[in-house]
Every structure is written in structure tokens, then in C-alpha cells.
Structure 1
Amino acid sequence: MTTEYSGTGDPARSLALLWRTREPASRKGRADLSVERIIRAAIDLADAEGLGALSMRRVAERLAVGTMSLYTHVPGKGELLDLMLDTAYGETLTSEPTGDTWRDRLEDLAQQTWALYLRHPWLLQVATSRPPLGPNLIARYERELRAVDGIGLTDLEMDAVLTLVGGFVHGAVRGAVEQAQAAERTGLTEQQWWHAHAPYLEKAMDPHRFPLAARVGAAAGQEYQAAGDPVRAFEFGLARILDGIEVLIRGRRTAG
């Protein structure tokens, strides 16, 4: 996947746009153009064609305006990418995570993040080690922290738990996105691909040479009717991570 990096724009300009403290565009700008419209067009473009298609020129074409008109509102692609990220993060702020326990709440947060990546696969193409420090990202972090507040973790452990779960979702969802993209670009579903390849694999692979691969692979293939099942892998992995966090919390309570 093509990788872009957040936080590459001018810090003062990015933060002013993210927090909407920047002065409105001059009168020379188009009256029907706004930062919000530009962000929406950029997200729609990235959703449809991937992050590699994103450029100020392509966004301007989508809005049927001249490229220079965009610069009246957004200085460049770096700042625009930060705005896109913060706007996408805002989609998760419509409600509090559901559940009576911290485990239920963390699971709900993970499911919401999984769904966000599926809606906007281009998010996986952005390296966010230097995140856009906008209002939606901060509100999202606050919301996530509330899910694990008061359960016996230190502040640093609370942050680490969120990082652990978020990193797992980020890695796990790639399989689901790649499956969807493969089906779209090849015209074959996973099941169709598997049924076309499985008979040849059975003939070619020697079960005496690869006994474990033959046994386990046959069981998995029969169950998934595909080379893998990203959704099931996500659910299994998330449950094991939550199990580990639970051991940490129980240990802290026992020690206390």
C-alpha cells in the first residue's frame, strides 16, 4: 500500500485549520468553496480511488474549480491530509462505547475502528506516528480513555492498552480490506478463488512432506472456503488481547 505521512504540513497552518482558528478566506476566494467542501471532496476521492489518487488538482477537478482556488482555503496536500484524518476520526464520536464492563467497551471501540477502516481503506495508507492533533482526534482519545478509566490501570497503562488494541485492529483489518479489493479487481469472490485453486493444491502438495500444513490447512480451508477469514481472525485475536488485559487487571487487584 502507498504510504503518506500525517503531520507533514506547516504546523501553525495545520493546527489553525484543524481547530478552525484560521481567518476566513479572502474575498478573492470563491464564495461557494469552503474548507469543509474541500475535505469532503478529498475523502470521497480517496474512498473511491485510494490515497495514491489524492492531489490538489484532482480534488479541484472533483469540485469543478481551478486548483489555485483550493489554496485560498488549504495551503497544500500535507495540511489537507491532516484535515481528512481528523474528519474521519470524527465519525466515531456519535455515541459512547456500549457495554457494562471495560471489556465490552473496549470490544465495541475495536469494532467501531474496524468499521471505520472498512469505510475508508485509505486510512491504512497513512503513517500516523505524528498524528494530526485536531479536535476530533483529541475527543476520540478522551472517549477511548473513559472506556478504561477507573479499572485499576495507571495512566500510562491506560494509554498503552489503547495503543495495543488500536494497533491490533490496524493490522487485522488489512486482511479484510485486501480481500475486498482483490474481489473487486479480479471479479472473483474468495470462495470462487478457493474452489478454483484447492483441487490443484491437493494434487500437488505431498501430505507426507508437509503433514501439519496438510492437516491444518485442510481443516481451515474446509471451514473458511477461502485461504483465510479476516473477520474470524480479528475476533479471535481481539478476545485473546482482552484476556491478557484482564490478567493484568486481576493481578493488580490481587496485589492491592
Structure 2
Amino acid sequence: MNGQAAPRYTRIVDELRRRIETGELTPGDRVPSTREITRQWGVAMATATKVLTELRRQGLVRAVPGVGTVVEPGVRPGRAKRPERPERAAHPERPAPAHRPPAAARRGSTADQTLTLERIVEVATAVADVEGLAASSMRRVAAELEVATMSLYRHVADKDALLLEMMDSVFRRWSFPEEPPEGWRERLELVARMLWEMCRRHPWLAPTLSVTRPQMVAGALPFSEWTLMALDGLGLDPSTAFTAHLTLFNYVRGTAVNVEMETEAEALSGLDAEEWMAGQEPALHAILATDRFPRLRHLATTGYDFDLDGLFEFGLQRLLDGLAVLFEEVARTAAPGYPYG
């Protein structure tokens, strides 16, 4: 490993740590959010998440509900805590405890009395967006809200019920224009891109959505209604129209599943997709050194710029091309005198 550059996330951690140690960021100041980190340093969301997780582990920052991630009140310029205390290094499997008030203080706080379902869903969604759905446990959400875990159960039955509320809240944040585009294709493009952007912002969403056992999420119904409306007047029977709707939905969902997979892989490895691919190049070139795969070897030589958004858009257009053929066939078979013309 000697001579290799440090993972990108550690360089960002060092930079933010420097700002804290020099007083450029003072106690209580907000540090860049995950989205700001992705914009400033050009890294993926998982890398930005790993940055803030490491800063929290080092005791430099804390998450404040409704505010964001801020510099810890106890951190002073030039006196920031050093990472990896000897006693913790001896137990690498034991995670650093989350910074929070004592349990008794949390239970006795007025936060329990002002807790709402909307606030619970907001915090649970924020945690899942950054750290994945598994991190958004009832205990973790309660800790972020600084309330007793049992306080949450007065508003939501369990984690499954909370997930449904999260899904519903995410869908309800989006709305369709009052004046829809003219053509069926433009209308389907609009709904598909809205779903894609939604899954991009909430990587946990696509894997939780089910086609075979659809959840009763009222906020998602306008998306189905919009799609079926776009297919009105094209000669499809209701069953075929709904199948077309499911096909479009499942295409978006199936492609978006890769967002969460990449987020998790990057968080575990500390490498974004580009860095990971760079590490695979020697093995790939060794496999392609023979004449068995000349086309793949040519592609590896010339390079391929993988872009998930581009992949989504390419597939969307081809799917819509296929639907156009279907609609033309339906119109042709419905013409007077068919098949004799």
C-alpha cells in the first residue's frame, strides 16, 4: 500500500479538520453538508457521507436536527481531539458512541412533549438519505431527536410503519404541472424523470418500492394516475395501459437500485466508482490480453465513460420507442376495414 494516494474522503476530512483547528470553523458553525461536499470536491454522495461520519467519529462535529452538522461546542482552535485514541484503537470493532445527552436528560426533556409524526419522518428520512435505510432505526431517530425511543411509538407503530410514512412523505413533496405537456411521450418522460430524480435524492427508496407487493402509499397514487392519463386516447385497453405503466415504473426503479448499491459500496470501500475501476484495470487488461475478446479490448483501450444518468436516459428513450411501436400497431389494427384496408 506504500506510495498509494490516500483515499479521497480522508483528504476532505483533513481539510475540514484543518478549518476547525485553525478556527476558520468555530464551535456551533455548520460544516458543509453532504450535498455541499459533493459539489465542492466533485465526489459521490457516499464519499461525502463517509467524510461527515469520520468527523463525527473523531468528535469534531455533531448532527443537530433542523440545523445540520455543526462543529462540536467543546472543540477549540488548535485543540481539536486527535483521531484514534489508543484505548479505542485496541477495540476497532467497537464503534464510537454517538454524541447525545444522557438518557435520563433526554427522557425528561420537553422534546418528548413537542414531538410530532412529521418531525419523526423528517429526521428518519434525513438519516436514511445519508447513511442508508438500515441506519434509520427507531433508536437512531430517537437519538437524533434527543427523545426516549419509546416516545416514537406514540406516533408510529413500528419501523415498517415509519418506512411507509417516509415513502409517502417523499412522494408528496413532488407535484405535477397544472398544464401537462401536449404529447404522450413528453408526459411519460416527465413522470419518469421525476421518479428518477426522487430515487437519486433518496437512494433507499428504489429498493423499498415493490411491484409484486405494492405498498399502500397514497402519495404515490398521483404518479400512477398521471401515467394512465398520458396513455388515454391511444386505443389501449385498461389492462394493457396499466401494464405499460408498470413497465415504465419498474424500469426507473430497477435502474435506480444501482444508486443505493453504489452508495453502500463506496461507503464500505472508501472508493468512488472511478477510483474502484482504476484499481481493476490491471486485472481487466490481463484478461483482455488474448484475442478472445477483441471488441472489449478495443473498448478498454479507447475508454468508456460510464454515467448512470446517461444510462437511464438512453434506456428511457428506447423504452418509449417501443411503446410508440405498440401504439402504432394498436391504431393500425383499430382502423376501419383492417386487415383488408
Q: Note whether the superposition's TM-score is higher than 0.5.
A: yes
CA distance in 1 between counterparts of 2:174 and 2:226 reads 10
Question: Within the alignment, does 1:44 sit opposite 2:126 as a pair?
Answer: yes
Contact 2:288–2:296 (Cα < 8 Å) also in 1: no
C-alpha deviation, 1:183, in angstroms:
4.8
C-alpha deviation, 1:133, in angstroms:
2.1
Cα gap change, 1:217/1:140 in structure 2, threshold over 3 Å: closer, same or farther? same
The answer for the alignment partner of 2:248 in structure 1 is 165
Higher mean displacement: 230-239 or 187-196: 187-196
CA distance in 2 between counterparts of 1:134 and 1:197 reads 42
TM-score (norm 2): 0.59
Structure 2 alignment gaps of length 5 or more: 1-110, 335-341
The structure carrying a bigger helix percent of its residues is: 1
Larger radius of gyration: 2
The answer for the alignment partner of 1:80 in structure 2 is 162
* Aligned match for 1:223, one of 287, 304, 322: 304
| More relative contact order, 1 or 2 (CA 8 Å, 6+ apart) | 1
C-alpha deviation, 1:180, in angstroms:
5.0
Cα gap change, 1:123/1:133 in structure 2, threshold over 3 Å: closer, same or farther? same
The answer for the alignment partner of 1:205 in structure 2 is 288
C-alpha deviation, 1:37, in angstroms:
1.1
C-alpha deviation, 1:137, in angstroms:
2.1
CA distance in 2 between counterparts of 1:180 and 1:70 reads 28
CA distance in 1 between counterparts of 2:311 and 2:254 reads 11
CA distance in 2 between counterparts of 1:96 and 1:193 reads 44
Cα gap change, 1:192/1:51 in structure 2, threshold over 3 Å: closer, same or farther? closer
Question: Within the alignment, does 1:53 sit opposite 2:135 as a pair?
Answer: yes
Cα gap change, 1:165/1:57 in structure 2, threshold over 3 Å: closer, same or farther? same
C-alpha deviation, 1:187, in angstroms:
4.7
CA distance in 2 between counterparts of 1:177 and 1:168 reads 16
TM-score (norm 1): 0.76
Identical columns (%) = 34
* Aligned match for 2:257, one of 153, 160, 174: 174
Cα gap change, 1:118/1:160 in structure 2, threshold over 3 Å: closer, same or farther? same
- SS for the counterpart of 1:209 is coil
Cα gap change, 1:193/1:75 in structure 2, threshold over 3 Å: closer, same or farther? closer
C-alpha deviation, 1:95, in angstroms:
3.2
The answer for the alignment partner of 1:5 in structure 2 is none
1:13-162 equivalences in 2 (<5 Å): 30-95=112-177, 99-128=181-210, 129-162=212-245
RMSD (Å) for aligned C-alpha atoms: 2.5
CA distance in 1 between counterparts of 2:307 and 2:224 reads 30
Question: Within the alignment, does 1:253 sit opposite 2:334 as a pair?
Answer: no
CA distance in 2 between counterparts of 1:98 and 1:30 reads 44
